[in-house]
Amino acid sequence: MLITKLKSQQELDRYFDKRVFIFKCYGCSEIYFPEEEVNKLIKEKNEKITGLVEIDYLCNEDFAKKYIEKNTDEIQNAKGIIVFSCGVGVQVVAKIFEKSMVVPGCDTFYLNGFQGLTVLDCDCNQCGQCYLNYTGGVCPITSCAKSLLNGPCGGAKNRKCEVNPEIDCGWILIYERLKKINKESILKEKNYFVRDFEKIIKGI
């Protein structure tokens, strides 16, 4: 799931040194979008703004075009266009207005796994050769900072990963899960296959 955070005030101030047109996409505000901050900014910079389009699913070029049809002249005459959306939305607008300076008002980040709107605790890295059968359903590729398949690296301290002390060691989680379902023997009995990166390159 792509989520967004407003760019630094300093950078934003720079964009507003001329008269600009604003796009604001609220399609994903149900998950996370700094809507209040954007609204505040729009209010503050009011006199610099020549027009505003509030849209959902700016990432859909067809929808975006319909919105834009109504305001084309206004947009083209603006000295710049600021888009508050994820990187996809910015690229859509930039493609339509190739000749204008289109800038992103937000930085885009990734949140673990999602369906629809719901963010999950777990994540999948599309390795192409799912290992979950041997790990009790905890993914070693995403829950281990080093994506190890050969058990823990040995560096964990107090359950925490040595690379990122904010997360639990994935292999401890795997062990605990297997123990819960009485299958910790898997760890000794099974041989893991080495990762086959060709699957990723070719996209099986």
Could you say which of ligand SF4, another protein, none residue 28 binds, taking C-beta under 5 to 8 angstroms by partner kind?
another protein
Nearer to ligand SF4, 67 or 131 (CB): 131
Eight-state DSSP code of residue 64: H
Nearer to ligand SF4, 141 or 161 (CB): 141
116 binds another protein (CB under 8 A): yes
Smallest distance, ligand SF4 to C-beta of residue 123, A: 8
| 6, two tokens | 């407003």
Per rule CB under 8 A, is residue 59 in the interface with another protein?
Answer: yes
Tell me if 83 sits within 8 A of 107, measured CB to CB: no
Among 9, 72, 125, 150, binds another protein (CB under 8 A): 125
Toward ligand SF4, which CB reaches closer, 6 or 31?
A: 31
Helix (H) or strand (E) holding 35: helix 35-44
Token duo for residue 74: 């206004």
Contact 50, 26 (CB under 8 A): no
| CA angle centred on 53, ends 47 and 58, rounded to 5° | 140
Task: Name the segment binding another protein (CB under 8 A); options: 16-24, 42-50, 87-95, 151-159.
Answer: 87-95
